[in-house]
Amino acid sequence: MPIKVLADEIVSKIAAGEVIERPASVVKELIENSLDAGATQIAIEAQGGGVELIKVSDNGTGIPASELELAFYRYATSKIGNLDDLEKISSLGFRGEALPSIAAVAEVEISTQTSSDPMGSYMYLKKGEVVRKESRARSQGTTVTVHRLFRYFPARLKFLKSANTENSHIAHLVSQCALAFPEVKFTLVLDKRQSLRLRTTSNGDLREVVSEIYGSDLAQRMLKAERNDGLAKVSGLISPPSLARSNRNYLSFFVNRRWVHSPLLTRATEEAYRGLLMDGQHPIAVINVSLPAQELDVNIHPAKAQIKFCHEQTVFSSVQKAIEEALARTPIASSKAVPFSVSSGQWQSPRMIMDNEPAFAVAQLPALELPVLRVLGQLANTYIIAEGPDGLYLIDQHAAHERILYDRILAQWSHKEVEVQGLLQPITIEFSPREEETLRVSKEFLAEFGFAIEPFGNRSYLIRAIPALVARANIIEIISALLDSLASKESLNPWEEKIAQSLACHGAIRAGQQLSNEEMRELIKQLEQTKQPRTCPHGRPTMIHLSAYQLEKEFGRIS
């Protein structure tokens, strides 16, 4: 085929495919237009997963009759005028692509009225062409109705999921918009069904929107996060560690109130919860970052869901700190009872009930502190049984010791006071090529933690000194585990935490090891002094607590 410039019509369809991927993309573009037009009320309706009908009405500025046709031209926009504007975009839209792209893949009706035009105007477009245009009265604002989306695009229709799935994408999208704009009243009706309604109040209170979307119980327990670092202003609501979820669907990030997918902000958030959640658990967060417009680039992808920060590290640490502060400010009541199922005789993990924690009237302890515990004995050479002011505690001796060692190792390292144990008789150890490579790049880190390792020819090495805190453990095992963990790409933790974690794990007393009363008491005393006595460095619980209330309940003393 000879080379030729594609006809405008084809070009607009290619681009439409990028912007309009599915019905929810149409809803997104239309809502963004309404928000840019300063609307305070936006009503969204969809039928058949958005394929049959999508209707978005707003009470924004409206479009002047004289400009209505122009709005459907490609790259026609009222939001930027020159290249400079592109550097500092403050509106949600700016590419002038949405309306023409939607009109290229569906039939579109639009009716609009400004405050200055004497009469509103109405237009009907089919395959991107205006087929009817007339004056029509309406109140100020704009309504766009999209019929038969993708009807002439069977390939795209086939790619769509069931109407229910597309509906849920739309609902999710509208929820995110509502979270970003609590002062705007959103209503959503899907397939005319009452049950699929969303209605936010527009009083500007984020907690109320969260309550509408995730339920009032959850909304009440969310913690306020706020921080102003000059460059980045962070604000939002985050979950206490006890409200974790098993996936990342509850993380909502906005930058200058634009809903974004940002691996950077996800990581910053998860970083703030490190050590507070178990593996596989994720927080709930609704976070907006406000930045001067020239601090970011949103013109990366047609759907504008990706952004680039000029100062990534600054944004990252502002978000992380805002969340850490919120978590630290609010003592979390975590001395809730753990259900004990008599029939199965199984302890359940405390996490499993966190979501519906009963409102037990127990003494509320700050999460991070332990009450004074009295050791009663050891169970299965693995758990320490202890009594506290509010019931029974079962403590995992390995996990508890891991927490103690981890904190101490990191403390010694950060104060540059690592206790080193020299070996009278150096140990010879032979490394695999991979281990040797890891050792080469991490030798200095290891030295900072108290390891003295010298080459001894032929992949053999001499260990001359080790950290005193783990001196009693199996040294060869500790070193190979350490090199493994340093080589692993899975964990994004900084190297010092990887080292401390690995040392703590392999240096800690094992399950199955018998302990004297004296040793158990000492262990608990040391655990009380750690900053997070209730979780091990991997985020697993160090203890299970059965409250006095729960005991009485299980024994039928109270009902």
Please give the residue ranges that form the binding site for ligand ADP (CB under 6 A). Answer: 29, 33-34, 37, 58, 60-63, 71, 76-79, 93-99, 142
Judged by CB, which is closer to ligand ADP: 26, or 478? 26
Least separation in angstroms between CB 98 and Mg ion: 4
Shortest distance (Å) from residue 298 CB to ligand ADP: 11
Shortest Cβ 89–Mg ion spacing (Å) = 12
Q: Toward ligand ADP, which CB reaches closer, 106 or 323?
A: 106
CA distance 136 to 231: 47
Cβ proximity to ligand ADP: between 66 and 348 the closer is 66
422-433 burial string, b = 16+ CB within 10 Å, else e?
A: eeeebeebebee
**Residue showing the smallest CB distance to ligand ADP in the complex:** 93
Q: Choose the one of ligand ADP, Mg ion, none that binds residue 95, judging by a C-beta under 5 to 8 angstroms depending on kind.
A: ligand ADP
CA–CA gap between residue 536 and residue 501 (Å, rounded): 9
CB of 155 to ligand ADP, least distance (A): 24
Distance of CA 405 to CAs 105, 465, 529, Å?
Answer: 62, 18, 12
Site stretch for Mg ion (CB under 5 A), options 90-98, 219-227, 407-415, 508-516: 90-98
Task: State the binding partner of 96 from Mg ion, ligand ADP, none, CB within 5 to 8 A by kind.
Answer: ligand ADP
**Whether the Cβ atoms of residue 132 and residue 47 lie closer than 8 Å to each other:** no
Residue 302, interface with Mg ion (CB under 5 A)? no
Report the residue closest to Mg ion, judged by CB: 93
By CB under 5 A, residue 33 contacts Mg ion: yes
* Strand-pair partners of 421: 466
Question: What are the start-end ranges of the E strands in 342-459?
Answer: 346-347, 374-379, 383-388, 391-396, 420-430, 452-455
Question: What gap in Å lies between CA 44 and CA 54, rounded to an integer?
Answer: 7
Segment 445 to 484, residues that bind Mg ion, using CB under 5 A: none
Least CB distance from residue 94 to Mg ion, whole Å? 8
Which of the residues 94 through 113 are near Mg ion (CB under 5 A)? 98
Residues in the chain: 559
Q: Could you tell me the smallest distance in angstroms from the CB atom of residue 32 to Mg ion?
A: 5
Name which of ligand ADP, Mg ion, none residue 397 binds, using a CB cut-off of 5 to 8 Å depending on partner kind. Answer: none
Q: Kind of pairing, strands 141-147 and 185-190?
A: unpaired
29-37, 101-109, 206-214, 330-338 -> range binding Mg ion (CB under 5 A): 29-37
Give residue 200's region: left, alpha or beta (phi > 0; psi -120 to 50).
beta
Nearer to ligand ADP, 61 or 378 (CB): 61
Partner in contact with 121, chosen from Mg ion, ligand ADP, none, beta carbon below 5 to 8 Å by kind: none
3-state SS, 209-238, equals HHHHHHCHHHHHHCEEEEEECCCCEEEEEE
258 touches 298 (CB < 8 A): yes
Number of residues forming the site for Mg ion (CB under 5 A): 3
Beta bridge partners of 396: 383
The partner in contact with residue 114, picked from Mg ion, ligand ADP, none with C-beta cut-offs of 5 to 8 angstroms by kind, is none
Contact 269, 251 (CB under 8 A): yes
Closest CB 94 distance from ligand ADP, rounded Å: 5
Distance between CA atoms of residues 237 and 544, nearest Å: 28
Encoded tokens for 21: 């991927």
Q: Which two tokens stand for residue 245?
A: 């979820």
b/e map 456-489, b = 16+ CB within 10 Å: eeeeebebebbbebbbebebeebbbebbebbeee
The strands making up 374-379's β-sheet, listed across from edge to edge, are 374-379, 383-388, 391-396, 543-546
Among the listed residues 62, 93, 100, 241, the single contact to Mg ion using CB under 5 A: 93
User: Which CB sits closer to ligand ADP, 33 or 242?
Assistant: 33
Among ligand ADP, Mg ion, none, the one that 34 touches (CB under a kind-dependent 5 to 8 A) is: ligand ADP
- Closest contact distance (angstroms) between CB of 408 and Mg ion is 56
Minimum CB–partner distance for residue 294 and ligand ADP (Å): 19
Residue closer to ligand ADP (CB basis): 33 or 412:
33
Give the nearer residue to ligand ADP in terms of CB position, either 33 or 530: 33
Residue 111's binding partner, choosing from Mg ion, ligand ADP, none, with beta-carbon cut-off 5 to 8 A by kind?
none
List residues binding Mg ion (CB under 5 A).
Answer: 33, 93, 98
